[in-house]
Amino acid sequence: MARITEVLTHVLKLDGPRAYLGRLEDGAELTPERGYVVREPWRSLYSARYETLLVEIRTDEGCRGWGEALAPVGPEIPAAVVDRLLAGRLVGQDPARVRPLWHRMRDLMRERGHLTGHQADAMAAVDIALWDLHGKLTGLSVAELLGGAHRDRVPAYVSGLPEPTDEERAALAASYERQGATMVKLALGKGIETDLATYDAVAAAAPGLRIAVDAHWAYRSGEALVLGRELDRRGALFYEAPLAPEDVEGHRELAAHLATPVAVGEALRNRYEFADWISRRALRLAQPDVARTGITEAVSITELAAAAHLPVACHHSVGLGVALAAGIHLSAATEDCPFFEFQADSLSVAQSILRTPLDATPTGYALPTGPGLGIDVDVEKIAELTASA
């Protein structure tokens, strides 16, 4: 029986072709020298680099499993959680006991109020690594371990269109349509009239694309309703994060008045949070991010959504190849999963840590074959990147 001998963290900060979501609203470049910056009019911090935490779990038989936390800023923080709070509880354990180990990790800080935030992100990375390791030890893929795949190819929607003007966004959308894409999501939340102008420009340039809107939690309830009704008239694909992330009741009221599905999930970390939103009908499209929930918890979330007849579309932003592979496996193993997020800007960076790239295009993702996550992490490159972070 294999035993865990080491739990290692790798903090990575990689340069990409350009910063995630492109230039700032004022046209300035987001550069590493500026440090973390708030992208006005949004409220969150962003980095010029692609930052993440990888977790590597090794066994006494020489097998390795890889996990990743979605940590676009401050990946050192969940790394410290893994190093100081989680690793010592895992060494010596049987890596095949994935679910019991998840519960063990969850309970370590549960009574102190740490089921979410950086603690959850750290646990997610460890949990993904355990599933990858379990698959490698059994010869089964993660999708097979979860009971089998509903699909071998997961449809995708293109996310972002990170260009500075509506004309350029429309041209980019048209180019994706020519590549076979059928869906796109706009990074908006910049004012009702501005958002609708962008939507209409993209729709005119690429009439074959279904269009979703990510409002980045920017609106008050009345504003969100006005925008939502306009999206209804336009037949929008979905309406993501319209209100403040803690406003469950506001999202419930909004969802009740719109035909366009209200989508929520990237800020949530566990089944308890999702259960509250789902039971109150505050969302109509669930968007868990496996690099913030872990695979174990994500499966519970998908079952809660299934019981409420809600589709699941996993969130993905700046995660690298490990998080991306985990999201593909989860999406393939989820019955009602209409699509998965495709991030063109981060894809080349995500692939750069893999010896063999994932099959990922604007139309969809092929389910990786092979044991575990089905990816071949470039161990030497990880060591090099960790040293330079």
- The one-letter code for the residue type at 296 is T
In this structure, the dihedral spanned by the alpha carbons of residues 300, 302, 308 and 309, taken in order and rounded to 10 degrees, is -150
3-state SS class at 152? coil
| pLDDT given at position 388 | 75
- What's the confidence (pLDDT) of residue 156? 98
Indicate whether this model's pTM tops 0.95.
yes
Residue 270 shares a structural domain with residue 291: yes
Strands (DSSP E) found in the chain: 4-14, 37-38, 45-46, 50-59, 64-69, 153-160, 183-187, 210-214, 239-240, 262-264, 285-286, 340-342, 360-361, 364-366
Do strands 210-214 and 183-187 pair parallel, antiparallel, or not at all (unpaired)?
A: parallel
199 in helix, strand or coil? helix
Residues paired with 37 in a beta bridge = 46
Main-chain dihedrals φ then ψ at residue 158, nearest 5 degrees: -75, 135
Cα(130)–Cα(228) distance, rounded to whole angstroms? 41
Q: Which two tokens stand for residue 286?
A: 């669930």
Alpha-carbon distance of 268 to 260, in angstroms, equals: 21
Answer yes or no: do 128 and 260 share one domain: no
- Are 324 and 168 in contact by the 8 Å Cβ rule? The answer is no
DSSP designation for 367 = P
Are 138 and 151 contained in the same domain?
Answer: no
Helix (H, G, I), strand (E, B) or coil at 212: strand
Q: How many CB atoms neighbour CB 5 within 10 A? A: 14
Pairing verdict, β 45-46 and 50-59 = unpaired
Same domain for 360 and 315: yes
Q: Which two tokens stand for residue 119?
A: 């603690």
Q: Are residues 181 and 221 in the same domain?
A: yes
* Other Cβ atoms within 10 Å of 55 Cβ, number: 30
Q: Into how many domains does the chain fold? A: 2
**Integer Cα distance of 182 and 339 in angstroms:** 11
Q: Which CATH number does the domain housing residue 150 bear?
A: 3.20.20.120
Residues 6+ apart with CB under 8 A from 73: 36, 45, 46, 47, 51
Residue 102 lies in a domain: yes
SS in 3 state form for 231-257? HHHHCCCCEECCCCCCCHHHHHHHHHH
Q: What's the CATH code of the domain at 126?
A: 3.30.390.10
Residue 372 domain-assigned?
no
Read off φ and ψ for residue 56, nearest 5 degrees: -120, 125
**Location of structure tokens 């269109």:** 161
Beta bridge mates, 372: 141
Q: For 83, phi and psi rounded to 5 degrees?
A: -65, -45
Segment 7-22, tens digit of pLDDT: 999 999 999 988 898 8
Nearest to 69 by CA among 115, 19, 9, 14: 9
Are 136 and 175 contained in the same domain?
no
Tell me how far apart the alpha carbons of residues 257 and 318 are, in angstroms, rounded to a whole number: 32
Half-sphere exposure of 172 (CA within 13 A, CB side): 20
pLDDT tens-digit series, residues 185-228: 999 999 999 999 999 999 999 999 999 999 999 999 999 999 99
Please report the sign of the dihedral spanned by the C-alpha atoms of residue 188, residue 193, residue 194, residue 195. positive
- 157 in the same domain as 49: no
Is residue 65 located within the same domain as residue 183? no
Query: What is the per-residue pLDDT across 274-316, written as a single tens digit (0 to 9) for each?
Result: 999 999 999 999 999 999 999 999 999 999 999 999 999 999 9
Residue whose pair of structure tokens reads 């100081």 in the numeric block? 84
Inter-residue contact 319 to 52 (CB < 8 Å):
yes
- Residue 311 domain boundaries: 145-366
Whether residues 263 and 303 fall in one domain: yes
Look up tokens 């097979």; give the residue.
Answer: 144
User: Is there a single domain that holds both residue 149 and residue 134?
Assistant: no
Could you tell me the mean pLDDT of each successive run of 10 residues in the chain, 389 residues long? 96 92 87 91 94 98 97 97 98 97 96 96 98 98 98 97 95 98 98 98 98 98 98 98 98 98 98 98 98 98 98 96 98 98 94 97 97 97 85
- Per-residue model confidence (pLDDT) at position 252: 98
Residue that is written with structure tokens 């139309």 in the block: 363
